Amino acid sequence: LPKIAKRVLEDYDHTIAENKLQFKEVFSGDLPEIQTDLFLLKTIFHVLIANAVNYTPAEGTITMTISVDPTRTNTFLLTVKDTGYGIPKDQQEKIFTKIFRATNVKTKVIAGNGLGLYIVKLMLALNGGEIWFTSEENKGSSFMVALPFVPKRIESSPSA
């Protein structure tokens, strides 16, 4: 998981540096190697990282945390927290709908079509996962993902 996250993060290195964003990575030491749908994971990472980068003003902070869920078997937790614009309270119920963008960012951020979170929620639902968030306008947002995983099988060598 950290390798995939870091590869996706490379796509945003320039924007992070240009906007003087502080990006923190917190990866739990007990993360197992997993068998996974690489496209699914990359899509989740891309959408959450892109949103945090695009909706956090210069000199803000973004923290990405990946850990194993202590309450669910074979499930990892991903959290992307930012100090960005946040989502107005009266619009939060629409955040996972198609083609929705909060009104407080439409004039600040050019990128985005309002499909990313909708697609991620749909992909997670089809794969037994879930996404939720907390947000406060002008203070930031935290998006959390729980996704079941299959531990990678260790190939045993044939007996002689």
What is the arithmetic mean of pLDDT over 18-42?
A: 93
CA-wise closest residue to 22 among 160, 111, 140: 140
- Cα 111 to Cα 132: distance, rounded to the nearest angstrom: 22
Average pLDDT over the chain, rounded to whole? 91
pLDDT band at residue 114 under the 50/70/90 scheme: confident
CA-wise closest residue to 77 among 144, 151, 23, 22: 144
pLDDT band at residue 160 under the 50/70/90 scheme: very low
CA-wise closest residue to 80 among 105, 102, 60, 106: 60
pTM of structure: 0.91
CA-wise closest residue to 78 among 15, 12, 8: 8
2, amino acid identity = P
Element (H, E) at 146: strand 140-148
- Cα 152 to Cα 37: distance, rounded to the nearest angstrom: 12
How many C-beta atoms surround the C-beta of residue 153 within 10 A?
8
Residue 119 has pLDDT above 70, yes or no: yes
The per-residue pLDDT for range 54-86, each reduced to its tens digit, is 999 999 999 999 999 999 999 999 999 999 999
Residue 152 has pLDDT above 90, yes or no: no
Euclidean distance between the first and the last CA atom of the chain, given in angstroms as a whole number: 35
5-14: b (≥16 Cβ within 10 Å) or e: beebbeebee
Residue 105 has pLDDT above 70, yes or no: yes
Structure tokens belonging to residue 95 = 């955040």
Residue 107 has pLDDT above 80, yes or no: no
The count of C-alpha atoms lying within 13 angstroms of the C-alpha of 119, restricted to the half-sphere facing its C-beta, is 16
